[in-house]
C-alpha cells in the first residue's frame, strides 16, 4: 500500500507474528495480562506503548490472540480508554512540535509544507473517527486550540 503523501510503497519496520493463534510459550494467563495492561494504563502509557512494553519486557507478542480482545477494547471495558484515539493524538502532538519549530525558524518553508500535510491527515482521520463515533461530532482540530492543550 502506498503512503499518503509520498511516492513510495513503504513497509512497517516491525514484523508481526506469523500466526494469529496464541503462542504455546507464553507463560502469562489472561488475568495477568489484563492486570498488566490496566497497571500500565494507570502509569500513563498509551495503548501502542503498552503493546511495545508487553512485547519487549514481558514476551507477549500480541494481546488479542491470548485474551480475545485488543488492548483498546480492554481499556474501554474498564473505563480507561483515552478520550482521543492514539493515532490521532500522535498526529496532533507531531503538529504541535512542528508549530513550535516554525515559531523559531519561520523561513523553513519545507516544514511549513509538512505541517500542512500533517494537518490534512488530522482532518481526514478525525472525519473517520467522527463517522464511527470514536470522538464527539463537534471535535475540531484548530492549531491555536491545540497549542493551548
pLDDT digit string (tens) for the chain, length 149 residues = 467 787 877 776 677 777 878 888 888 889 999 999 999 999 999 999 999 999 999 999 899 999 999 999 999 999 998 989 999 999 999 999 999 999 999 889 999 999 999 999 999 999 999 999 999 999 988 876 666 44
Which cell numbers in the block locate residue 94? 507531531
* Alpha carbons 146 and 84: distance in angstroms, whole number: 13
Q: Which of 93, 82, 73, 83 is nearest to 146 (CA)?
A: 93
Structure confidence at residue 87 (pLDDT): 92
- Give the HSE-up count for residue 126: Cα atoms under 13 Å, Cβ half-sphere: 19
Structure confidence at residue 31 (pLDDT): 93
Q: Which of 68, 88, 66 is nearest to 77 (CA)?
A: 68
Unique residue bearing C-alpha cell 514476551: 59
pTM above 0.75, yes or no: yes
Q: Which of 44, 112, 111, 132 is nearest to 82 (CA)?
A: 44
Amino acid at each position: 500500500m502506498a503512503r499518503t503523501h509520498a511516492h513510495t510503497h513503504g513497509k512497517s519496520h516491525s514484523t508481526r507474528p506469523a500466526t494469529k493463534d496464541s503462542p504455546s510459550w507464553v507463560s502469562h494467563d489472561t488475568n495477568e495480562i489484563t492486570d498488566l495492561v490496566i497497571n500500565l494504563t494507570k502509569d500513563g502509557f498509551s495503548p501502542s506503548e503498552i503493546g511495545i512494553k508487553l512485547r519487549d519486557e514481558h514476551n507477549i507478542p500480541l494481546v488479542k490472540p491470548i485474551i480475545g480482545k485488543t488492548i483498546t477494547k480492554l481499556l474501554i471495558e474498564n473505563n480507561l480508554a483515552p478520550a482521543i484515539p492514539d493515532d490521532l493524538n500522535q498526529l496532533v502532538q507531531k503538529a504541535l512540535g512542528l508549530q513550535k519549530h516554525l515559531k523559531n525558524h519561520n523561513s523553513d518553508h519545507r516544514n511549513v509544507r509538512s505541517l500542512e500535510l500533517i494537518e490534512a491527515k488530522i482532518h481526514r482521520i478525525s472525519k473517520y473517527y467522527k463517522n464511527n463515533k470514536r470522538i464527539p461530532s463537534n471535535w475540531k482540530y484548530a492549531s491555536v486550540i491545540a497549542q493551548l492543550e
